[in-house]
């Protein structure tokens, strides 16, 4: 018997020819296993208190710290592009040990949230980063104890207050990125108690202590000295990522996140295979900066690299992707 794919009696060549389905652009499009849609993209945005004009971020070409005025146009552009949502980060003028600006109704993030919600209407899901690192003078994601370590449970109390403040500002999805144990349960309880039971939570469940956050530190003018390895995940650990995702789901997360994306596609694939809630991924600042730098030097095809990088994240199982190319990529998809 001739094995499948082997040459027949007349030496007619291989029977199985997978290339048949790659022959033309139309055929490749028809049989594509993974498809991208603008609605699956979320744009992270930075808003700087006191800025009179947008401030370019040198390590992230094309990305700026918005003023409250330029934010409005950027939100309108995002809505017109048809993307799914925006994720807001605040850059305050003043910081202190407990991140007071994070819970101030007139703090930059809460002000920006109200403006974005008013501008977006029903066209976008306006999301907010729930973490203290932009607001603390030490740059950590929580408050510190007497020995200078991050106090998990004291930080949860600040997260509870921050969650209520963001919900009252109109945030439609809270992104819990601080990596404190029990953060999802704490914020869920605070929201429910305060009458915000319908505000969903995005748990940054598997957030790793990554070198690829470097440009983000410039974007939010981080005051951090040292690192966050005592609370963000060890890059060596795949099973720990799965455990954190399970914990966030059990605590009531409506969506879970893997961050960064590029170096953690195995963790993302694991989560996508097992999670009962949507799984998102964050294509972080370092991933953006590398492609932009290589493209600027003529070393890679910029558009193809962007498209392939996000497609790879979606192929690994992400239901949505946070990416700084969201609006540009949405235009290409259309």
User: Among all residues, which ones are annotated catalytic?
Assistant: 207, 259
- What the block records as the tokens of 92 is 């305050």
């Amino acid at each position: 018997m001739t094995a499948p794919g082997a040459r027949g009696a007349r030496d007619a060549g291989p029977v199985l020819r997978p290339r048949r389905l790659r022959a033309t652009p139309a055929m490749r499009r028809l049989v594509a296993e993974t498809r991208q849609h603008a609605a699956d993209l979320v744009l992270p945005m930075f808003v700087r208190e006191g800025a009179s004009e947008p401030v370019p971020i040198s390590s992230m070409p094309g990305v700026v710290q918005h003023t409250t005025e330029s934010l409005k146009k950027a939100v309108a552009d995002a809505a017109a592009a048809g993307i799914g949502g925006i994720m807001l980060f605040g850059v305050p003028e003043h910081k202190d040990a407990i991140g007071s600006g994070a819970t101030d109704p007139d703090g930059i993030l809460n002000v920006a949230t109200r403006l974005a919600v008013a501008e977006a209407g029903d066209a976008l899901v306006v999301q907010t980063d729930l973490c203290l690192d932009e607001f603390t003078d030490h740059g950590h994601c929580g408050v510190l104890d007497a020995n200078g370590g991050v106090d998990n449970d004291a930080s949860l109390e600040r997260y509870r207050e921050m969650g209520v403040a963001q919900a009252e500002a109109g945030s439609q999805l809270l992104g819990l990125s601080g990596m404190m144990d029990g953060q999802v349960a704490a914020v869920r309880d605070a929201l429910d108690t305060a009458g915000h039971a319908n505000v969903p939570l995005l748990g940054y469940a598997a957030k790793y202590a990554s070198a690829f956050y470097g440009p983000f530190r410039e974007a939010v003018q981080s005051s951090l000295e040292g690192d966050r390895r005592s609370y963000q995940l060890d890059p060596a650990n795949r099973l720990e990522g799965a455990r954190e995702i399970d914990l966030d789901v059990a605590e009531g997360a409506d969506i879970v996140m893997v961050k960064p994306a590029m170096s953690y596609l195995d963790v993302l694939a694991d989560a996508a295979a097992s999670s009962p809630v949507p799984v998102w991924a964050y294509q972080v600042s370092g991933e953006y900066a590398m492609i932009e730098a290589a493209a600027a030097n003529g070393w890679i095809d910029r558009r193809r690299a962007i498209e392939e990088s996000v497609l790879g994240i979606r192929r690994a199982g992400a239901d949505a992707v946070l990416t700084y190319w969201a609006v540009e990529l949405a235009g290409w998809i259309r």
